Every structure is written in structure tokens, then in C-alpha cells.
């Protein structure tokens, strides 16, 4: 189709090839071109401009910018640090599937609020805090690099529930027998039930359990070796496995042994189970606001202390480093075999009613 540009020069634009473009479609395109010309718009220039904008938008999606930001930050964090792994993981879990492919400037504050409130509703406030901070920093990076003009996450705190970091909600020691009974009776998901029991039997962090891989588990040696890159302290951690934990793991292996992860996701088994799964189960059995998965570590630590075990053993089991004591972590990780393993076996027997092994109790 020949036409006269707004500057008076003649030009030609293609309406497409027949039969790829029907006669009716060609007429519709011709009508659109005439409408553009009536508004003083050159259709060829407009098409080129639209193409450039599409290319620009594709290069400036939230996911593209987030990965650039992550690559820029990793050298500061150290590639194996928990923060480097954590930041990418939470973005992949909660943000990329929802708005990752959107141009960064097209995502509204209300959409970010919905993403963050979903974590609130699941009771994972610490995860919400971290995700909010990561996304806020990504927008700062986008502004500095000329891809965004404002940060929609800056003022969202006023619309979010207040959260103070501190002790996680947890039951009292007197409630432990009922708690054990309640999780053993949980029948909505065998995988979740096993997970809740393993948290009690090992005192690991919920995230460490959800992302555990079968190759880390040595049932013969009764030990779970967690690599440094998945540990909060950035150090490899050995978790002794009492016989009850081994029984649960054997049962779990029948359910998920074909996968890499102990707790694979329902929709994508290459990713871990949702971090809301354990919390939702606790809500269903009546512990909403009283006990959260991470609070189990406090329960185990308090229980072991009341049973008379040394603080150093307990802190080593929690993968903590005692303040003011140089190298206590390293020392604790290489304890004699009759210390932490025996301690955790006694704890497991204490929990699940097996005859207690008096040789495990510290004196």
C-alpha cells in the first residue's frame, strides 16, 4: 500500500502476503493505517517504534534485572554464602512465576503488596521480610541503571503487618506429649507428617529440611551431612540420626526416593515443597499462633537443657557458634561418637515413648 507520510514524502507499507493475510484482514490493516495517517502518525515509523519498545521491555523485565542484580551482588556476598542462595531461591519461588516476565516499571505497588501478604498469610514473616528487602534492592539497582524511575516497594511497610525479629512461637515442654500425638495423627499428607517429626528429631531449620537431598543422607552411618552452601552459618553440618529418624526416612524414601529432594514440590518435583506446608499443617491441627515450624528448634533446645545436656552439645546440634568461645563449632562437629548421637537418641526415645537409654543422659 502506497501512502504519503506526514512530511509529504511518498512511501510504501506491506499489508502482508496472500493467503497468509486474508482480504478482510488486509482491509482492516488499511483502515488502521489511514487512521494513523489522519492523526499525523507514520505507520512504518510507528511499527519500528513499537518493535523497539517491545525489545526494550523484554530486556527490562523484573527477572532480567533481578538476575543482573544477583550477579552483581554475589562477589560481595561470596558465591557459596547462604544469602546468595537464599535471595535467588525466594525470587524463583515467590516472584518470578507471578511477575518475572513483566517490564519492571509495569508492576504496581498493589501487586507487590499481594505477593508479600501471601507470605504473611502463610505465617512466614521472616521470609516476607527478606523478600521485601531483596526486591526493594533490585528496584534500587534498576533505578541506578536507568531501567526504572521509582521504587514501588519503598512505602509498603505501612500496609504490611508489623514484625519484630525474635523468638519464634513455640509450645511449652508440658505440651510436647500432646504435640507429638497430634502430628502423628495428621493424615492430610504423609510427607508433611514425616517432615514435622524430623524437625523434632533433628532440630534442623525447616528450610534445611525442605531442601535436603537424598545423597546427603547416610542411613548406614546414621548421619545427615548438610553442605555449607545450605547452612545459615556457611559451614557444613553433620546431623546425627536417631533410630526413629531413620525409620521415618525409610518410609519417606518409599514416597520420594525417585526424586533428588526428600521433600519435592507437588507441581515441580525439582523444586522443594512449599515452605508454607509445615505451617499450614500446624494451623490445621490447632497450633495457629502457638507454634511455628522454626519454633521446634527452641523446643528441642529447651528440652535437651532440661534433660541435663551441656550447652555446647545443644548449640552444636543447632549449628550455632557460642559467642566468646573461639572454635567451639569446629570442636563440637568432631565430638566423640557417644556424645551428640547418644544425646539425640535419648531425646527421640524421650519424645516417642521408647524405653529411655540412661547412658545417653548427661551427668
The residues carrying an active-site annotation are 205, 232, 294, 297, 320, 329
Q: Are strands 10-12 and 2-4 parallel, antiparallel or unpaired?
A: antiparallel
| Interhelix angle 277-284/190-202, nearest 10 degrees | 100
Please tell me the distance from the alpha carbon of residue 293 to that of residue 297, in angstroms, as a whole number. 8
Look-up: residue for cell 514501588?
Answer: 152
Query: 107: burial class by Cβ within 10 Å (0-12, 13-18, 19+)?
Result: buried
Please give the Cα distance from 9 to 6 (Å, whole number): 8
The rounded distance, in Å, linking the Cα atoms of 200 and 92 is: 28
C-alpha to C-alpha distance for 50 and 45, rounded to whole angstroms: 9
Q: Which residues pair with 2 in a beta bridge?
A: 12
Output the nine-digit C-alpha cell for 208.
Answer: 534445611
Distances (CA, A) of 142 to 41, 86, 198: 32, 20, 42
What is the residue whose three cell numbers read 526416612?
Answer: 249
Amino acid at each position: 500500500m502506497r501512502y504519503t507520510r506526514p512530511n509529504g514524502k511518498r512511501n510504501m507499507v506491506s499489508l502482508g502476503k496472500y493467503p497468509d493475510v486474508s482480504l478482510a484482514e488486509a482491509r482492516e490493516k488499511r483502515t488502521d493505517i489511514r487512521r494513523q495517517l489522519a492523526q499525523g502518525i507514520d505507520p512504518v515509523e510507528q511499527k519500528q517504534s513499537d518493535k523497539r519498545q517491545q525489545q526494550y521491555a523484554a530486556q527490562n523485565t523484573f527477572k532480567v534485572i533481578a538476575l543482573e542484580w544477583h550477579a552483581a551482588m554475589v562477589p560481595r556476598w561470596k558465591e557459596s554464602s547462604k544469602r546468595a542462595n537464599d535471595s535467588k531461591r525466594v525470587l524463583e519461588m515467590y516472584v518470578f512465576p507471578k511477575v518475572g516476565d513483566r517490564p519492571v516499571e509495569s508492576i504496581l505497588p498493589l501487586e507487590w503488596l499481594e505477593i508479600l501478604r501471601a507470605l504473611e498469610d502463610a505465617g512466614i514473616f521472616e521470609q516476607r521480610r527478606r523478600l521485601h528487602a531483596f526486591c526493594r534492592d533490585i528496584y534500587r539497582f534498576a533505578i541506578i541503571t536507568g531501567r526504572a524511575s521509582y521504587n514501588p516497594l519503598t512505602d509498603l511497610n505501612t500496609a504490611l503487618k508489623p514484625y519484630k525479629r525474635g523468638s519464634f512461637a513455640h509450645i511449652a515442654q508440658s505440651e510436647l506429649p500432646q504435640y507429638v500425638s497430634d502430628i502423628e495423627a495428621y493424615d492430610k499428607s504423609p510427607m508433611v507428617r514425616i517432615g514435622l517429626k524430623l524437625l523434632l528429631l533433628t532440630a534442623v531449620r525447616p528450610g534445611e529440611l525442605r531442601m535436603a537431598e537424598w545423597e546427603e543422607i547416610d542411613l548406614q552411618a546414621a548421619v545427615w551431612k548438610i553442605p555449607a552452601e545450605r547452612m545459615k552459618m556457611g559451614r557444613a553440618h553433620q546431623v546425627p540420626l536417631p533410630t526413629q529418624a531413620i525409620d521415618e526416612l525409610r518410609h519417606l524414601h518409599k514416597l520420594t526416593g525417585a526424586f533428588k529432594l526428600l521433600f519435592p514440590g507437588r507441581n515441580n518435583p525439582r523444586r522443594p515443597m512449599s515452605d508454607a506446608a509445615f505451617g499450614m499443617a500446624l494451623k490445621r491441627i490447632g497450633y495457629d499462633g502457638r507454634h511455628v515450624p522454626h519454633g521446634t528448634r527452641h523446643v528441642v533446645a529447651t528440652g535437651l537443657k532440661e534433660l541435663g545436656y551441656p550447652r555446647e552439645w545443644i548449640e552444636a546440634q543447632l549449628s550455632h557458634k557460642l559467642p566468646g568461645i573461639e572454635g567451639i563449632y569446629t570442636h563440637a562437629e568432631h565430638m566423640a561418637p557417644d556424645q551428640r548421637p547418644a544425646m539425640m537418641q535419648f531425646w527421640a526415645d524421650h519424645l516417642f515413648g521408647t524405653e529411655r537409654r540412661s547412658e545417653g543422659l548427661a551427668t
